[in-house]
Structure 1
Amino acid sequence: MTTQTIETRFNQLADDLSENGYGIIESFLSDEEVKDILSVLDDYQEAGDLKRAGIGQAENHQVDKSQRGDLIRWIEPEKAKDPTQVYLDRMRELMQFINRTCFLSLKDFEFHYTLYPVGTFYKRHLDQFKQDDHRKLSVICYLNFDWREGDGGQLRMYKPVGADEQIVDVLPVAGRLICFRSDLLEHEVLPTARERKSLTGWLRDQLLDVPF
């Protein structure tokens, strides 16, 4: 993306976040960049380096396959391979832009590679912990080529509208980035009929102080 294109897309994302609580950027990663990151994720998968994800935090952390079935590997920014570093650098640009335009004082991020095996899901939840409110924005970039409605795996968001809520479904299409308020939008991942891959993470207003 050119500098002007990035600026325009970031501006639209900031406007959508303020207005709707979420925003989407199509082709945040090019097809080539997605393929390069997929090669890294596939290597981790083949080596057995993806672990079952859990729910909760610290002493409340537990693995519960009835709630979520994805496999993850946390990304250590200093050790990230070049294809992933391209994405992290772009996220730093996005974080700085949001700080300038939305005044969120974001200071850090945390990301992991995510793989949903066939038939898995993640039930409705909120990304912000009760004991830790430092996750301000949730960010997902999808890595799935040729994804169709029948493949399932949609991100389903529940947007508050007065006393009601509006359902918003997003297909996990390669290169698509979605960003939403971690404290506002409950969401789930619907059961997937194909392996579903992404980079998933959060922009925080406090430096991350836990080891990976």
Structure 2
Amino acid sequence: MNEQFERIADGLAENGYAVIDQFLSQNEVDDILRSESFKNAETHFQKAGIGKNTGHQINEAIRGDYIQWLDKNSAEPALLVYLDRLSALVAFLNQALYLSLKDYEVHMTVYPTGSFYKRHLDQFKRDDHRKLSVICYLNQSWNDSNGGELRMYLPNEEKDFLPLAGRLVCFRSDQIEHEVKPANRERLSLTGWILDQHADLRHI
């Protein structure tokens, strides 16, 4: 893990983002997909919205995914493997980059076939506590023809990354605009943010 953590730290320091394959092993991805939490996700997850608090709204012309927030105190063992690794990453980044990161929040995410999330920034206008966005993909046997790329809008270029199983993408929440392109099959991930304050469970 330390080698992967170092590559993440180097990427964040040099470019504001990092992409690491096999952050979760094939077996770890399989275990998560077999968990009760991800069964019938489109039926049991809640429709994701945009904005926060009184500005929160559902708008499928902008965002079409379904989400379920994870509670680290009650998450299934397969998901705890990922959450514990994220905790270790937070500690490593604090030491390597002298950041003041304190916690994280994560939700399970499913994009039904054809859905997308238009270009946006992850940090809210009146809430700047999200410092790093971190996404781990769970899509088996994904290829170029499936679509569903994460597109990052960097200062001098656009970069696309396929949502391959086990791949982790980490980037500055306040700097990198991005979007999720439509896919021709269901698209699954663990999507979260590393914070400079302690997380609570009051999500809307």
Q: TM-score interval w.r.t. the shorter chain?
A: over 0.9
Match of 1:201 among 187, 192, 195: 192
The question of whether the paired residues in 1 share the 8 Å contact of 2:4 and 2:23 is answered with no
* One-letter identity of the residue aligned with 1:202: W
TM-score (norm 2): 0.96
How many correspondences in the alignment?
202
Q: Find runs of 4+ consecutive structure 1 residues off by over 3 angstroms.
A: none
Structure 1 counterpart of 2:69, one-letter code: W
2:41 is the alignment partner of 1:50: no
Which residues of structure 2 form unaligned runs of 5+? Answer: none
* Separation of aligned partners in 2, 1:111 and 1:12: 22
Q: Is 1:125 equivalent to 2:120 in the alignment?
A: yes
Q: Which residue of 2 aligns with 1:77?
A: 72
Match of 2:7 among 9, 12, 15: 12
List per-residue Cα deviations over 1:32-67 (Å, max 9, x = no partner).
Answer: 110111122432527x32111000011100010000
Q: Within 5 Å, which residues of 2 pair with 1:177-188? A: 177-188=168-179
Please, which runs of 5 or more residues in structure 1 have no aligned partner? 1-5
- Using the size of structure 1 for normalisation, the TM-score is 0.92
1:86 correspondence with 2:77: no
Change (3 A) 1:208 1:44: farther
Query: 1:210: how far off?
Result: 4.2
Distance across 2 between alignment mates of 1:166 and 1:49: 38
Following the alignment from structure 1 to structure 2, what is the Cα–Cα distance between the partners of residues 136 and 155? 19
Worse overlay, 135-144 or 6-15: 6-15
1:77 match: secondary structure: coil
1:1-212 map, 5 Å: 6-40=1-35, 41-43=37-39, 45=41, 48-160=43-155, 165-212=156-203
RMSD: 1.1
Q: Which amino acid aligns with 2:145?
A: G
